[in-house]
């Protein structure tokens, strides 16, 4: 059966676009050569307000997501991915809107850590994501480095050139604290990371989602 994939994106748009590209790349690696053989992918890039740092915006953000996603339920998706870590705080509401339980980026990361033998993991993410508790039992950096991480994320959202050296520097700090692997806890960091060579000490949730859906690594 042909896969029918929904990307719940736009938070931010560069990250969900990266996931879309990963899915197409995976299909090509599987030998797809004709347009008709690619999976059906609907990419809903929803420009919601920042409901994470501004709690008062949450009802408006949820209303826009529901308004956008509910008409798409008719496609009976085989796979749904929320291409944003902190948007998983609305996981149940999004699942209700599309009629399918999305792949959880957190569960995919936890499964990968289990596969690796549960090494000590560090988390690179915004202060808000760290405080949300979406990721448990992880090392984090201090407030100054968290603000540096946030600045990198905002640069991606603004369309600036990804700063891979800055991201690598933050990862090194986590390794010095004892982390054996580093989780990219914001999908904008995945956008930065894709500009560098493969690194088996970095866990990219978007790549894990691609592997889960397509059955092949990118």
CA neighbor of 58 nearest in space, from 67, 66, 49: 49
Quote the longest CA-to-CA distance of the chain: 49
Q: Which pairing describes strands 4-9 and 40-45: parallel, antiparallel, or unpaired? A: parallel
Mean pLDDT to the nearest integer, 30-48:
95
CA–chain centroid gap for 210, Å, is 10
Residue 213 lies in a domain: no
Which pLDDT belongs to residue 173?
A: 97
What is the DSSP code string of the chain? ---EEEEEE-SSHHHHHHHHHHHHHHHHHTT--SGGGSPEEEEEE-----TTT-GGGHHHHHHHHHHHHGGGGGG--SEEEE--SGGGGGHHHHHHHHTSPPBPHHHHHHHHHHHTT---EEEE--HHHHHHTSS-S-B---HHHHHHHHHHHHHHHTTPPP-HHHHHHHHHHHHHTT-SEEEE-SHHHHHHHTTS---TTEE-HHHHHHHHHHSS--
Mean pLDDT to the nearest integer, 35-39:
95
Mean pLDDT to the nearest integer, 67-85:
97
Residues 90, 112 share a domain: no
Residue 212 lies in a domain: no
pLDDT over 90 at 50, yes or no: no
Number of domains making up the chain: 2
Which pLDDT belongs to residue 197?
A: 87
Which pLDDT belongs to residue 187?
A: 97
d(CA 150, CA 41): 30
pLDDT over 90 at 89, yes or no: yes
Residues 199, 117 share a domain: yes
Residue 22 lies in a domain: yes
Q: What CATH number is attached to the domain comprising 91?
A: 3.40.50.1860
Residues 121, 94 share a domain: no
Mean pLDDT to the nearest integer, 186-202:
94
Put residue 31 in one of left, alpha, beta given phi > 0 → left and psi -120 to 50 → alpha. Answer: left
pLDDT over 80 at 1, yes or no: no
Which pLDDT belongs to residue 198?
A: 86
Which pLDDT belongs to residue 128?
A: 87
What tokens were used for 37? 């053989």
Query: Per the confidence metrics, is the pTM higher than 0.85?
Result: yes
Residues 138, 73 share a domain: no
The mean-pLDDT minimum among 38-42, 67-71, 196-200, 202-206 falls in 196-200
Which of 59, 76, 104 is the C-terminal boundary of a domain?
Answer: 104
Residues 85, 15 share a domain: yes
Residues 186, 112 share a domain: yes
Domain range for 189: 106-204
Q: In which band, very low, low, confident or very high, does the pLDDT at 2 lie, cut at 50, 70 and 90?
A: confident
CA–chain centroid gap for 15, Å, is 7
Residue 210 lies in a domain: no
Residue 50 lies in a domain: yes
Which pLDDT belongs to residue 53?
A: 75
User: What's the chain's average pLDDT?
Assistant: 95
pLDDT tens digits along 97-147? 999 999 999 999 999 999 999 999 999 999 989 999 999 999 999 999 999
Residue 216 lies in a domain: no
pLDDT > 90 in the chain, percent: 91
């Amino acid at each position: 059966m042909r896969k029918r994939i929904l990307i719940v994106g736009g938070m931010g748009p560069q990250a969900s676009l990266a996931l879309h590209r990963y899915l197409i790349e995976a299909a090509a690696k599987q030998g797809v050569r004709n347009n008709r053989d690619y999976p059906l992918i609907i990419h809903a890039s929803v420009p919601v307000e920042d409901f994470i740092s501004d709690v008062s915006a949450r009802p408006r953000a949820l209303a826009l997501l529901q308004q956008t996603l509910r008409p798409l339920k008719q496609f009976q998706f085989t796979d749904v991915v929320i291409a944003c870590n902190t948007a998983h705080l609305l996981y149940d509401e999004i699942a209700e809107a599309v009629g399918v339980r999305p792949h959880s980026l957190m569960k995919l990361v936890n499964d990968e850590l289990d596969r690796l033998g549960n090494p000590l993991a560090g988390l690179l993410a915004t202060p808000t994501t760290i405080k949300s508790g979406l990721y448990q039992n992880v090392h984090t950096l201090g407030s100054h480095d968290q603000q540096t991480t946030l600045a990198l994320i905002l640069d991606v959202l603004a369309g600036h050139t990804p700063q891979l050296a800055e991201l690598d520097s933050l990862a090194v700090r986590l390794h010095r604290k004892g982390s054996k692997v580093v989780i990219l806890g914001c999908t904008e960091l995945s956008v930065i990371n894709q500009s560098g060579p493969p690194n088996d000490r970095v866990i990219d949730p978007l790549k894990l989602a691609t592997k889960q859906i397509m059955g092949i690594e990118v």
